[in-house]
């Protein structure tokens, strides 16, 4: 004679067989990135009602498919926790490695006495030809000319560069590196940048009497339109 299963146990078994437990799964658009590079996270989880993301840097999100960036280099663990309607949870994790952006720190010094030059405009070019003819200046992500100005220590910093050599154009009301460049290209050319490192370069300049004001061009220490510099100015202001 078969043993009958009590009705309460049978109901429990039937209910348990219908329960779908949450399953956590996701992937990232990149797992090796640079600082400030946007990472997109795609949630492939099943049978959940809510999600909680921890990005490993103190930041959190409850969006289903969030995006995130990191401000500092390091190794971060990203964890997705999914929560089902019955309170059950599951989680999944991956590791993100964040590298420093390739950076170029330029110090502008007067050539003879080596004092720093403040408020000098710096623009980078991909070749000597471009430097000479003011073509193809390095641009930022918005398609604008990438221009930096030196601080009181004569330092300006460029980030997010490619690991290649650059030709450095320095311009100020009373200083530039045009005559020095004619003497030796190495005065304006950097070595190939080390990727994901802080690279340094000393840009020497000569003291000159600029003709810019005499030519009627308005000078602003906050914005100098580089494309208004003409090759004639480079040669005649030596």
CATH number at residue 25: 2.60.40.10
Judge if 190 and 110 occupy the same domain. Answer: yes
CB 108 within 8 Å of CB 150: yes
Judge if 116 and 158 occupy the same domain. Answer: yes
Cα separation of 211 and 188, whole Å? Answer: 22
Judge if 61 and 115 occupy the same domain. Answer: no
pTM (two decimals): 0.74
115 class by beta-carbon count within 10 Å (0-12 exposed, 13-18 middle, 19+ buried)? exposed
Judge if 28 and 65 occupy the same domain. Answer: yes
Instruction: State the total domains in the chain.
Output: 2
Range of the domain at 32: 20-99
Judge if 118 and 232 occupy the same domain. Answer: yes
Per-residue pLDDT of the chain (238 residues; tens, 9 = 90+): 555 556 555 445 444 556 789 999 999 999 999 999 999 999 999 999 999 999 999 999 999 999 999 999 999 999 999 999 888 999 999 999 999 999 999 999 999 999 999 999 999 999 999 999 999 999 998 899 999 999 999 999 999 999 999 999 999 999 999 999 999 999 999 999 999 999 999 999 999 865 443 333 233 333 333 334 433 444 454 4
Domain-embedded: residue 69: yes
């Amino acid at each position: 004679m078969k043993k009958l299963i009590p009705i309460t146990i049978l109901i429990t078994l039937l209910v348990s067989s219908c329960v779908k437990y949450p399953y956590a799964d996701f992937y990232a658009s990149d797992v090796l990135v640079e600082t400030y590079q946007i990472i997109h996270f795609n949630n492939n989880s099943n049978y959940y009602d809510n999600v909680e993301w921890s990005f490993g840097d103190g930041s959190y999100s409850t969006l289903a498919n969030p995006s995130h960036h990191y401000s500092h280099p390091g190794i971060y663990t990203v964890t997705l926790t999914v929560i089902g309607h019955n309170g059950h949870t599951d989680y999944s994790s991956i590791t993100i490695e964040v590298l420093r952006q390739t950076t170029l720190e330029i110090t502008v010094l007067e050539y003879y006495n080596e004092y720093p030059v403040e408020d000098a405009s710096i623009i980078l070019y991909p070749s000597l030809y471009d430097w000479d003819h003011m073509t193809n200046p390095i641009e930022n992500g918005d398609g604008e000319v990438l221009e930096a100005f030196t601080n009181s220590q004569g330092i300006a910093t460029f980030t997010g560069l490619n690991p290649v050599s650059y030709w450095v154009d320095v311009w100020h009301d009373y200083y530039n590196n045009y005559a020095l460049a004619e003497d030796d290209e190495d005065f304006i050319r950097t070595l190939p940048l080390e990727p994901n490192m802080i690279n340094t370069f000393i840009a020497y300049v000569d003291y000159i009497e600029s003709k810019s004001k005499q030519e009627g061009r308005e000078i602003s220490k906050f914005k100098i339109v580089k494309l208004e510099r003409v090759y004639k100015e480079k040669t005649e202001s030596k």
